[in-house]
Amino acid sequence: MYKNSFVHYLTKVLVDIMFFGGILCAAAAPFAYRPVALFFGYKPKVQVSFVIWIYLSAICALYILWQLKAMFKTLLGGNPFVAKNVACLRKCSVASFLIAIISMVDVIKWFSFVLSSIVIIFALLGLFCLTLKDVFKQAIAIKEENDWTV
């Protein structure tokens, strides 16, 4: 059947590193945000908004990585076209749109090109996940039809 390649395993390892690195970064944020805010000269009112934005975005990003880890289990298991992956892609799209919305609120508060780019990137990621979800759903239907035919 289908043989897993080195790229599959490398990608899985990179997703794992990003997931656990993200957990460490989110855990370190309470200790690091004050020195960073002082370095950049952020006012206390901005600091609170910044910390809320970082935490909410980090939670959504970690959730996306968790869903990718679940999808890689089915990929490395040899059967990626399952309903579980369709649900994972839908959840990834919701989390991506949440990051875009959270960043949009901050763009309204204070405009920056970086935040605007984040809004665009995560909105496109959400649309990509929704499209890929539909592709997987169609592939599952074709696979099930072929399984019944044989």
pLDDT at residue 150, rounded to an integer:
57
Q: Is the pLDDT of residue 62 over 80?
A: yes
96-105 burial: b if 16+ Cβ within 10 Å, else e:
bbbbbebbbe
Q: What angle do CA 15, 21, 22 make, to 5 degrees?
A: 90
Q: Is the pLDDT of residue 2 over 70?
A: no
State pTM to two decimals: 0.86
Among 128, 106, 109, 127, smallest CA distance to 118 is for 106
Average pLDDT score, the chain: 88
Residue ranges of domains in the chain: 6-149
